[in-house]
């Protein structure tokens, strides 16, 4: 994981990843990541993403913010500063799922009848969007949020992810959550999946499998 400590406002910013950085594009993005003036980056190894997140909040975070960026994400240089600019208690960057239908990792609501989460459609992702849950693979959280959530664990992997667990705790505590639809980051599988790349009719080569995204009107238009 990466721990970014700043002696200047807005305080300490921790950027946390898994134990091993698996992708060169992730490393390139982290090397170029813009952080608050005076910050320093220190790498810390851990055993699992959830354990790392809990540990860095509990033992290392003494300032105002923590930002989680998973090692299968690709971040533009201004991602952290963009998220900090909103001053929200929880705000995530926008990224796509790794697999078809390549939907936003941003959930609108929880349907009590079906017991499923309702995702946003790409056409709805504009500006700062309130969410019921979002991906912790690119998320900024104010330190005071963890005080409101009570004792750890704040993160616990369920079905291979800890996003929903954390967001449910925040929702139950009455904390607002947002996704900045203009802070778009990549998600890496056997290819790099960007929100702007998953437009209608695009063909993606994944190893020997050819995938065509259906023309359902729920994916973003082609980037100019």
* Model confidence pLDDT, tens digit, residues 173-203: 999 999 999 999 988 875 666 676 554 444 4
State what percent of residues in the chain have pLDDT above 90: 34
Q: By the 8 A CB rule, do 197 and 95 touch?
A: no
The answer to whether 75 and 30 are in contact (CB under 8 A) is yes
d(CA 116, CA 77): 34
* CB 137, CB 128: distance < 8 Å: no
Cis status of the peptide bond prior to 10, with omega within 30 of 0: yes
Reported as a single tens digit per residue, the pLDDT across 112-135 is: 888 888 889 988 999 999 999 999
Residue 59: which residues within 8 A CB-CB, separation 6 or more? Answer: none
pLDDT of residue 116: 87
What rounded mean pLDDT belongs to the chain? Answer: 76
Q: Coil, helix or strand for 67?
A: strand
Query: Rounded distance, CA 204 to CA 208, Å?
Result: 10
Most confident range, picked from 27-41, 186-200, 202-216 = 27-41
Q: What is the pLDDT of residues 64-98, one digit of tens each?
A: 888 888 878 888 999 999 999 999 999 999 998 88
pLDDT, average across residues 19-44: 68
């Amino acid at each position: 994981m990466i721990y970014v400590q700043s002696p200047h406002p807005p305080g300490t910013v921790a950027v946390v990843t898994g134990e091993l950085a698996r992708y060169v594009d992730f490393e390139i993005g982290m090397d170029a990541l813009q952080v608050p003036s005076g910050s320093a980056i220190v790498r810390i190894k851990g055993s699992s993403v959830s354990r790392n997140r809990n540990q860095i909040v509990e033992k290392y975070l003494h300032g105002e913010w923590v930002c989680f960026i998973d090692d299968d994400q690709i971040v533009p240089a201004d991602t952290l500063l963009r998220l900090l600019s909103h001053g929200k208690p929880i705000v995530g960057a926008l990224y796509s799922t790794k697999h078809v239908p390549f939907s936003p990792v941003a959930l609108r609501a929880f349907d009590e009848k079906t017991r499923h989460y309702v995702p946003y459609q790409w056409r709805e992702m504009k500006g700062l969007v309130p969410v019921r849950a979002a991906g912790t693979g690119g998320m900024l959280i104010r330190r005071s949020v963890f005080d409101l959530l009570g004792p750890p664990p704040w993160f616990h992997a369920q079905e291979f992810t800890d996003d929903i667990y954390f967001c449910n705790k925040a929702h139950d505590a009455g904390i607002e959550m947002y996704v900045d639809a203009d802070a778009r980051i990549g998600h890496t599988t056997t290819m790099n999946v960007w929100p702007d790349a998953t437009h209608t009719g695009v063909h993606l080569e994944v190893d020997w499998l050819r995938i065509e995204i259906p023309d359902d009107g729920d994916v973003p238009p082609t980037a100019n």
